[in-house]
Amino acid sequence: MTSNAALVYGDTANLKPAQARALSRLAERGVPSDQLISGVLARDLLDLAESLNRQIGLFLDRRGRVERVILGDAHSLELPEFTRVRGAAGRLRGIRLVVTHLLPDPLNREELADLAKLRLDLLAAIHRGPAGAQIDIACLTPGKPGTEERFTTRVWQRAPLAALNREAEALEPGEAGEYPVPFQAFIRALEGELVARTSRARAEVSGNRAMVLHVHSGSLDVEARQHEMRELCRTAGVHLVELVQQRRRQPDPRTHMGQGKLREVLVRALEQDVELLICDPDLTPSQARVLEGLTDLKVIDRTTLILDIFAQHARSADGKLQVE
């Protein structure tokens, strides 16, 4: 049986025994399945975070059970690694993340990137407002038809916590559409829309959906190089969703693109249901390892793409000879 302490992720070395116990006891808490988070748990979570002067996060499953307690520093949380979501395209993880903000700051870029990268059901940040606890909420939502975007992000700011915890029949007129309540019905409907949007879009194209990451110094042959990459993708049977470029003197020795730009690119790739990243110029072995560790997407470079084209043609020629 897993102990509560084992469900706590983060640096707990400097906590007092009473603080460590209070943190681990959060793993015993639960939420009614139709609520994003209960008012009592939200206030207790915020009180403990303020007493520690550190952010706290809870991963909750769809039954309202706490799966993991995350302890961060005063400004951010470092989240544990997750495997890629399996099942139908567009499926969510079945887990929501509720975090505390010590200041009334909105959800930031890194938090919204985690929402997309982990395919969370919802992301919510609780903070102290003038009239009590308030909550900012974000979820993925289907992208506009006719665009490459499979999903985009919807955000509710400064929602009163009380509005999220009423029974469905007690909601004010129009409130059920204004906030993600009741939670279970909202998530089921949202996931159904995401699966349908992704399935329709995938049926419209053939080949792996790819994004090219082109780092260059601004030389005169940039356009020719990018045209060549588009032609290579077409020849390889790859559906090129987007070519992203970054001008810099030389590729980042660790991450190919600069780390900030790469973070944006990975979110864009998830939004557009990309399966393959193609890097130009070619990756070093260490760059390839780092990129593969940062994403579940397949990562190749220009030379690998060319070799794949040769391999396809060789298989085709061999098959033709066998038929003849």
pLDDT (0 to 100) of residue 176: 44
pLDDT (0 to 100) of residue 117: 84
Strand partners for 68:
59
Domain boundaries of the chain, sorted by first residue: 5-202, 205-323
Q: How far apart are CA 247 and CA 219, in angstroms?
A: 10
CATH class of 205-323: alpha beta
Q: Which segments of the chain are extended strands (E)?
A: 8-9, 56-61, 66-71, 95-100, 123-129, 132-142, 151-160, 209-216, 239-247, 276-280, 298-301
Q: Give every strand in the sheet of 298-301, ordered side by side.
A: 239-247, 209-216, 276-280, 298-301
pLDDT (0 to 100) of residue 174: 42
Q: Output the tens digit of pLDDT for each of the chain's 324 residues.
A: 456 767 999 999 999 999 999 999 999 999 998 899 998 999 999 999 999 999 999 999 999 999 999 999 999 999 987 766 655 567 899 999 999 999 999 999 889 989 988 899 999 999 998 877 899 999 999 888 777 777 889 999 888 877 676 544 444 444 445 678 789 999 999 999 988 887 777 666 667 899 999 999 998 899 999 999 999 999 999 999 999 999 999 999 999 999 999 988 988 888 888 989 999 999 999 999 999 988 888 999 999 999 999 988 777 655 444 434
pLDDT digits (tens, 9 = 90+) for 242-271: 999 999 999 999 999 999 999 889 888 888
Say if residues 228 and 262 touch (Cβ distance below 8 Å): no
Record the pTM: 0.76
Burial of 275 (0-12, 13-18, 19+ CB in 10 A): middle
